[in-house]
A and B are shown apart, each in its own frame.
Chain A
């Protein structure tokens, strides 16, 4: 007796306050996986509380979301939020004007408008948490690589300091130097050195010695 694919179908669910991520798939029997794991991802869906949109897609789309959302969270943690993902990528996330975050998902099908989700900080944190749980779940044995997490370079972090504050040190130092240089002009000039006469015997106070 062989198990049918529908009988082997497995579903993994990750819940947070504002969203629910559901993965569906099958164990990869050719890789010797048991029925408890998902080795072949057949689909996924992401539902939001209070929003009509439910995202669905294939593995590539989930991979694209992972590739942009987690690096974006990493940047946000360092206080330098900026766009992650390019115009031709299937997913893109960027800071919105009002402190929210715009997640843009582009369909692989032609003539389908991109889906835009505007998330507040709490919803973004929920999304990051479900993605974290997914990638750390031992029941999911699908290769979903994420970019390595690394410290930012000094140049990247400097962006979080406003330009006036960054320049304050330099301007302050230059002003202090100029003030010190200007105050040097106010000091009285030192007296000119007097020429020193070569000592003569008379000046030395001794009586001239007659020649022999």
Chain B
């Protein structure tokens, strides 16, 4: 599996209508954790994911919110699982922008997501793809996350972390494209009310 995606095409979701309004309140701690982990999963699937996120952010018109990669990184550091955790919360507009970036990235990577989830692919090849994904995700997690947190340790565990890794890939497949924005937003706000 080639885990490098081409330069992002025109980011359609910005132009397409959505029926749900942007979140009115900041994301919970759990919501930020999930959002950042999903973005990290995108980076594990796409070696140039970090640069692609900035490019897509510009295409979607979020240049003011995230003028460069560092600003994007700073927002993601509100994830309490991060090694460089920054106190505070994401503003609703920032949350919305990150969700839209995530859905566009998931759409670009959809063929890879499909390969990982499909049962009609050769079993050996699927296992190899999952091993490659796990290795890359573990590398990124070790680099950026606080390894003393039990949630991080579980994700790194080859066996115990497998359901969570599958859940991350499945989530990306179910929110790929503009149709997934509302679903993702609602899911990140679970149990907030």
Residues of A at the B interface (CB closer than 8 Å) are: 17-18, 50, 70, 73-74, 76-79, 100, 120-123, 125-126, 128-129, 131-133, 135-136, 149-154, 156-158
Contacts and interface: CB of A to CB of B under 8 A. Distances in A.
B63 interface: no
Contact of B187 (A74, A132, A153): A74
Given A17-B111, A77-B187, A154-B191, A122 B118 contact: yes
B189 interface: yes
What's the dominant secondary structure at chain B's contact region?
A: helix
B119 A120 contact: yes
A77 B177 contact: no
Contacts of A151: 186-193
Interface stretch (B40-48, B84-92, B167-175): B167-175
27 contacts: A17-B111, A18-B118, A18-B120, A70-B183, A77-B171, A77-B184, A120-B120, A121-B170, A122-B114, A122-B117, A122-B120, A125-B113, A126-B114, A129-B110, A129-B177, A132-B179, A132-B180, A133-B177, A136-B17, A136-B179, A149-B185, A150-B186, A151-B186, A151-B193, A152-B187, A156-B191, A157-B191
Given A76-B170, A78-B190, A125-B114, 19 more contacts: A17-B111, A17-B114, A73-B174, A120-B117, A120-B120, A122-B173, A123-B118, A125-B113, A125-B173, A125-B174, A126-B114, A131-B179, A133-B177, A151-B191, A151-B192, A152-B190, A152-B191, A156-B190, A157-B190
A165 to B, nearest CB: 11
Nearest to A121: B117
B20 A149 contact: yes
A120 B120 CA distance: 9
From A120, A132, A158, residue with most partner B Cβ within 10 Å: A132
Interface string B105-147: 0000011011101111000000000000000000000000000
A48 B113 CA distance: 19
Given A77-B187, A78-B187, A150-B186, A122 B119 contact: yes
Nearest to A17: B114
Given A122-B118, A125-B113, A77 B174 contact: yes
Given A125-B174, A129-B179, A79 B167 contact: yes
A101 to B, nearest CB: 11
Nearest 4 interchain pairs by C-beta? A132-B179, A122-B118, A125-B173, A151-B189
B117 A125 contact: yes
